[in-house]
Amino acid sequence: MSTPVSTPQAPEEVVTNAIVREVDLTPFGYNGKMALITLENGYDHNRPNTLGVQGLQSLNVAIDTAIATNADAIGVTGKPFIFAAGADLSGVAGVADRKLAHAFTKLGHDVFRRLGECGKPTFAFINGLALGGGLEIGLHCQYRTLATTAMVGLPEVFLGLVPGWGGATLLPKLIGPELATRVIIVNALNNNTMLKSPEALEIGVVDAVFEPTDFLEQSMTFASHILSGAKKITRADHTKVDASWENAAKIGAAAVAKKFGRADIASPKAALQLIADARTATHDSGFTAEDEALTELVMNDPLRASLYAFNLIQKGKKKIEGAPKPALGRKVTRAGVVGAGLMASQLALLIIRNLKVPVAITDLDQERVDQGIAWINNEIDTLVSKKRVRPDEAARLKSLLSGSVDKAIFAKCDFIIEAVFEELSIKQKLFKELEAIVTPECILATNTSSLSVTKMSEGLANPERVIGFHFFNPVAIMPLLEIARTEKTDDATTATAVSVGKDLKKTMVIVKDAPAFVVNRLLMRFMGEITDALDEGTPPEIADSAMDPLGLPMTSFELLGLVGPGVALHVGQSLNNSLGERYRVSPTIERLVKAGVKTFYLKDEKGNQKINPEAAACLQPGDKPATAEQVRLRALTALASEARMMLDEGVIATAAEIDLCMILGTGWPLHLGGILPYLDREGISEAVTGQRFHQRGVASLP
């Protein structure tokens, strides 16, 4: 027996115990026994098994017990429908001692490797979700089965870690470096994509897949056939194919560049090195390298920032700050969408799919209505072709949709959202027309991104039922929903809006009705600093690359092309009118719109990006060029200043909600922990506002 290093437990650890029982394999075709270890946290059947210090020590004792029995093999499985979701990271953010961090990383190796080195055949019966350390338990075993309903993955790089309990060393040897890079790097960086059972079987992560109804029995039969020699599993030697290792490095580097641009991010770099080293690494050398890499990452701010951001997202799904009691909400049995363009059609489809209530759409003429309905029906058909919706369900969803040029179609609606042209007078006129048609309880929501919801409700008999309901594009994918209350919006309206948002599976923040709410106000402020630098004479390639070290999902001018210069100009003018000259209207953007230029960049035949000649012709640079560092500092300074004003004005209640908005609304990278912890760590918050946004230790070393 190896003796794992003693480490203090995290106070928040929910202990996953490892329970051993002997199973007679005779009924399954082998005359012998198996010592079966079951992982069970025993506290909450809805909470997945996780492995902290006590959980690892319990597993170590269970392995001792299993080895000491007369059993011919050892198996590991989980409680019903859950195998293990990896390491318990609840105490990681509080670790300030490198020795403790190293001890915890080494403990996982000391325990897990015994499954592969104990001298008995070992099996992992993965009956449910297996992530990170959960999957690594299976990788240390010699054979693996998987339930058809289960998913597996190594999400560590997504959180700023590496698969540090054997995954980075064992998986490349098992399935080859290219596929391992896809699992460890590509999938993790693609919003933590997991492997479903068919793919896990196809690429060799597991050896067999069985239905959940008799999963354990089928797995015992599989093990019996292995033990009796009736079934043999052959493993390829992936260490001898030079090209695959070279190609794996290219695949990983491309995925990192796509996600983070030119930002220098530690975790994927470390993971790629571990994968490359796995070709020649022994267990001792590979696991030691994993320990060192994992310890280094645990002791750096990006991990703490990622954990802060990840926990913030999870909390945001469950609790909405300032939300009224749910009981105040009214049931929505019929909904309406004013408009049949792309945004409106996306909203209608989202409501139909999730609320499953009748939805009516209108537009200025029948042709537009018909186009909207056709688009929605085509999207439903696409979902059927992808097997995400059954044909019978698709037919039912289509039957819920209706369209007309007559707003009387909204008469029986409980909830109506408008997505018409972003012009205040048009929206005011629309709401007055709707009020004459609908009941006094029908909610009138606006998807405006920058206009005053309060002004939209002026002159209405029931302004208390008007609310902002701001989605982000594409509607089905972007998780954030800003709910904007006016001073007259009542609790029943807000509670109903929150209930609808929850049914739409959105993460919500309740904001004060203020110009551009949260996301667009901050986004336009820092983008404005970039365009100001351009107007002042900074070369476009320098101005636009200024924020690259942060690893944002796209540059300012790429975003400009996505939203369109016309939209950007309209929002900029609106913010200039309401918030003043710190939101200066860019002459360059005005010229782009006047010239009809739609995008700042074009791609050549090789996919390389270059400045659109039409956009270049609109540039009239000044004589005050700045360096990339100067541009970046002015943009971050503006963000700090604006965020402090928003909190002081009560636009949003907490700094954490600003972080949540920027993470979910703009893709602000997790490794930065949201915008405000980053500004705190860089010293910009205090330099600009005289104070931090968060207490010390939030998303950074204590």
State pLDDT tens for residues 650-674. Answer: 999 999 999 999 999 998 998 999 8
Q: Which pLDDT belongs to residue 4?
A: 45
Length of the chain: 702
Q: How many CB atoms lie within 10 A of CB 313?
A: 17
- For residue 2, name the pLDDT band (cuts at 50, 70, 90): very low
The amino acid at residue 510 is I
Across the range 41-69, mean pLDDT stands at: 88
Using CA atoms, how far apart are residues 136 and 431, in angstroms rounded to an integer? 57
Across the range 446-468, mean pLDDT stands at: 95
- Unique residue bearing structure tokens 């896809």: 182
Query: SS3 sequence, 409-427?
Result: HHCCCCEEEECCCCCHHHH
Nearest C-alpha neighbor of 484 from the set 680, 626, 652, 613: 652
Give residue 51's Cα distance to chain centre.
23
- For residue 11, name the pLDDT band (cuts at 50, 70, 90): low
Torsion angle of C-alpha atoms 535, 536, 538, 540, degrees rounded to 10? 0
Check residues 482 and 12 and name the one with the higher pLDDT: 482
Cα distances from 207 to residues 135, 145, 221, 543, 640, in angstroms, run 14, 6, 13, 52, 53
Share of the chain above pLDDT 70, in %: 98
Phi and psi dihedrals of 636, rounded to 5?
A: -70, -35
List the alpha helices (DSSP H) in 261-341. 266-277, 283-298, 301-318
Residues 556-587 pLDDT 10s: 999 999 889 998 999 899 999 999 999 999 99
Q: Please say if the pLDDT value at position 415 is more than 80.
A: yes
Across the range 319-323, mean pLDDT stands at: 94
Q: Which pLDDT belongs to residue 44?
A: 60
Q: Please say if the pLDDT value at position 414 is more than 70.
A: yes
Q: Please say if the pLDDT value at position 508 is more than 60.
A: yes
Phi and psi dihedrals of 591, rounded to 5?
A: -70, -40
Q: Please say if the pLDDT value at position 102 is more than 80.
A: yes
- For residue 378, name the pLDDT band (cuts at 50, 70, 90): very high
Across the range 683-701, mean pLDDT stands at: 91
Q: How many CB atoms lie within 10 A of CB 523?
A: 22
Structure tokens at 591: 């010229």
Nearest C-alpha neighbor of 260 from the set 358, 155, 188, 351: 188
Non-local CB neighbours of 284 within 8 Å, separated by 6+ positions: none
Q: Which pLDDT belongs to residue 590?
A: 96
Report all structural domains of the chain as residue ranges with CATH numbers, in order of start: 17-299 (3.90.226.10), 326-512 (3.40.50.720), 519-650 (1.10.1040.50)
Q: Please say if the pLDDT value at position 45 is more than 70.
A: no
- For residue 43, name the pLDDT band (cuts at 50, 70, 90): low
Q: Please say if the pLDDT value at position 446 is more than 50.
A: yes
When the pLDDT of each residue in the chain is averaged and rounded to a whole number, the result is 93
The amino acid at residue 120 is K
Across the range 507-522, mean pLDDT stands at: 96
223-227, 241-245, 346-350, 497-501: the lowest-pLDDT one: 241-245
Across the range 428-432, mean pLDDT stands at: 97
Yes or no: say if 60 and 141 are a contact pair by the CB < 8 Å rule: no
Q: Which pLDDT belongs to residue 68?
A: 95
Q: Please say if the pLDDT value at position 42 is more than 80.
A: no
Residues 258-288 pLDDT 10s: 899 888 899 999 999 999 999 999 999 999 9
Using CA atoms, how far apart are residues 651 and 484, in angstroms rounded to an integer? 9
- For residue 8, name the pLDDT band (cuts at 50, 70, 90): very low
Using CA atoms, how far apart are residues 518 and 533, in angstroms rounded to an integer? 23
- For residue 696, name the pLDDT band (cuts at 50, 70, 90): confident
Q: Please say if the pLDDT value at position 36 is more than 50.
A: yes
Q: pTM value?
A: 0.89
Cα distances from 419 to residues 97, 164, 445, 447, 568, in angstroms, run 53, 48, 9, 6, 17
Using CA atoms, how far apart are residues 403 and 21, in angstroms rounded to an integer? 63
Q: Which pLDDT belongs to residue 14?
A: 80
Across the range 125-146, mean pLDDT stands at: 97
